[in-house]
Every structure is written in C-alpha cells, then in structure tokens.
Amino acid sequence: MPIEITMPALSPTMTEGNLATWKKKEGDKVKAGDVIAEIETDKATMEVEAVDEGTIGKIVVAAGTEGVKVNQVIALLLEDGEDKKALDAWKPKEAPKAETKAEAAPAAAAAPTSAPTAAPAAPVARMAPAAPVAAAPRTAPLSADRVAASPLARRIAGQKGIDLTRIIGTGPNGRITKEDVERGGAGSGGAVVRNPVEAVQIPNNNMRKVIARRLQESKQVVPHFYLSIDVEIDALLEARAQLNKHAEAQGKDGKPAYKLSVNDMVIKASALALRDRPNCNVSWYDDAILQYNNVDVSVAVSTDGGLITPIIRNADQKSLPAISREMKDLAARARENKLKPEEFQGGGFSISNLGMFGVKTFQAIINPPQACILAVGAGEQVLKLRDGQGVAVNVMSLTLSVDHRAVDGALGAEYLQALKRYIEQPVLMFV
C-alpha cells in the first residue's frame, strides 16, 4: 500500500495550513530528510521534510491550496517495488469536517483558564507574506458624459483626446474647468489626475488574520495598564561608542568584531531588570500566576507580512556582543521567513522599539500569555536645569504595558526603576 503523506502540525496551535509549493513532483524519488513541500501556517512558511523513502506516486493536494486540515492526506509515496498500480488500491478517507465560524475556537490570545504544569508555549502568529492581488474597482468609473465639466472644458478635452474621468475638477462643486483640462493635457506637475481604479484588494493571509484576532482579543480581555518613564541615555550612548570603537580595533579585514545598537543595550538592561524583579517575568492564568525561572526576551521585528517576535533566551546572562550578533541573525532570518518555531514561540517579556522611526512615545499591546511589553521611543535632546544651570541631555521615553491581573502598578513601577538604573548607569550591565 502507498504511504500517506499528511499535512503536519507545525506548531502547537496549528489546525490547518496552506500548501504553498511542492518541491518534488510526481515520479521524483525522495529519501528521508528531503524537502518535499513548503507549508504556510499561522506562524511562518516552513519546509516539510520526507520521513520515508520512496517515489512520489500522486500529489493529492495541489500547490496553492488553502485551508488544508492537519492530518489530511496531501500526497502518496510509493515504496520500493511498487508502481502506480498500487495507487488503485488507495481510497481517500472522508475529509475532516470544516469548522464553521461559530464552531472555530479562536487562537489563544487571552491567557488560558488554567496554568500548564510545564512552561507554556506562548504562540504569537507572525510571518508568511502573501502577494497582493488586485481586484476590480468597487464601482464602475463614471463615463465622460456624466462628469461635471464646463462646455469649453468638454470641447477642449474632445479635441485633445483627454479622458475627463481622470481629471479632478477645481471649479465649484468639483466641476472641471478649461484650466483643469489644459493642465492635465500638458502633463504638468500641477495637474490632478484621478486613477480610474478606486481601490485594490490585498488578501489577508493566515498571519494577518491571526495577528488581527489576537490583538483584538488582547485589548478586549487583558486589562492593560500603562506606565511611562523618561531615562537619560548620555552615559549609555557614550558606553556604546566606546564599545563599538573597541570592536573596530578587534575586528578583522576592516570589519568590526560587532556593532552594538541602542536596542541591543535596551534588551540587556531589560533582561537584567527582569532578573532583579522576577515578579514581572510572569503570565496570568485563572488558577495561578506562572513565574518564569529563565529570562527570555521577545523582540518585535517588522517583516513584509507583519510583526514577529524572535526570542533572545537567557538574555540576562549573555554579553552585549552576543546579544547584538544573535539579534541581527534572528532579525535577518525573520525577514526571510527562515526562523524555526522554537526561535519565536515562547518568551516571558516583549520589547517593541519604534525609536528608529522617530516615534517619541507609544503604548504597545500585550502579547498573551505574557504580562508585560516595553515600548521604546526615540531619544531626543532636552534642556534640564541642574544647579541653576541649563544642561542639554539626551532623554528616551519608555512605556510599560502590563496585564494588571498579574502585574499591578507598583510592581510595574519597581521594574521601570530597575530598568532606569541600568540604562543610566550602563557600567552595571558588566557587574
């Protein structure tokens, strides 16, 4: 009998996936470990490897098929000595019953009702961009006869072969004037030309749908509480400059041994503050608060398909150069959809940094079942009064979003005080 190749469960929350591409075709020989297909899940686009040896006898589910249920047969593998006649004996099983919208249980954005006995997976849907697909305009474009235009404008447009539906009028009530037509016909930069296709549809892939659902559920279910603090970063910037200068001296072939970013130092400081305030390294469950023994920091990375949060594990124990190298590697592979599930599932605390975009302050949405996320804004120079003298200092705004069920205001404030100490006295990161 042929060996059934089924849709694998590539993450703890996966119930279905999209069969993106086949890497093998019917008649191809495969051995254990060969990549045979790419599956788009609610978390990433991942390669599927063959478990058995044989020949691809039949591809049951075509490439590009969406909503393939876990354990559904996607292909048949012929063993040695079997030919295509063996396929005649195979009969497809009844396809799994599709869930209705009312039956489908949303992925766990809010904390589960009971705490797991082992450390829980903290799945956060990310990745796998889908190519935009243009759709027909929602309404048919107006004909030239129905466009509001002056008689002179119509005559000039007819003489010059100008489509009035592509001109935006500047006259009363949007009426197209002679000047509008002349500007449009001359191709002048002052012309206002309207695209006849009003809009296109960009389909939401699995990742976008799950992100939207979980963010909505997080805001609806998790009682968010926000705490903001300003920290001076002059000492941190000076320490970073010195370390990067040292890295240049230690480098080879003209390349520095490493290059620290402000974000790398914020990751380290956040991890050390969590080590000092372990009651913020927690998750809420109805029967217990789960406190993590390891400091694993998730860091938001923007990709074409949305946000994904690769994890720096044991960040409190790693050196700044190690954090920097690991973060660059994780971010690069995240943008290429090459992260392994264990590299973005889990974590006890998240960081979202929009400072590089010039955003001064913002409030991030908590990523359940985590209880905290730190929003990092841009540093800016401000004037402070010290000993009666005005002094220019660089200040960065930090906002901590906490799940008030697990971390109350006082605990959150204590965490921010610990974080402020490490950022303003970066020498403490090396103690």
Cα separation, 58 vs 35, in Å, equals: 16
Region of residue 328 (phi > 0: left; psi between -120 and 50: alpha; otherwise: beta) = alpha
Cα separation, 145 vs 149, in Å, equals: 9
351 and 376 Cβ atoms separated by less than 8 Å = yes
Cross-strand bridge partners of residue 290: 283
Structure tokens that stand for 366 in this block: 């908590």
Region of residue 64 (phi > 0: left; psi between -120 and 50: alpha; otherwise: beta) = left
Cross-strand bridge partners of residue 149: 176
- Beta strands 311-312 and 288-291 are unpaired
327 and 35 Cβ atoms separated by less than 8 Å = no
State the burial class of residue 302 (Cβ atoms within 10 Å of its Cβ: 0-12, 13-18, 19+): middle
Cα separation, 194 vs 322, in Å, equals: 52
Q: Where does 88-233 have alpha helices with state H?
A: 151-160, 178-186, 206-221
236 and 424 Cβ atoms separated by less than 8 Å = yes
End-to-end CA distance of the chain: 64
> Which residue among 335, 404, 405, 420 is the active-site one?
404
Catalytic residue at 404?
yes
327 and 262 Cβ atoms separated by less than 8 Å = no
Cα torsion 402, 404, 409, 412 to 10°: value is -30
State the burial class of residue 362 (Cβ atoms within 10 Å of its Cβ: 0-12, 13-18, 19+): middle
Cα separation, 169 vs 431, in Å, equals: 68
426 and 265 Cβ atoms separated by less than 8 Å = yes
Active-site amino acid positions: 404
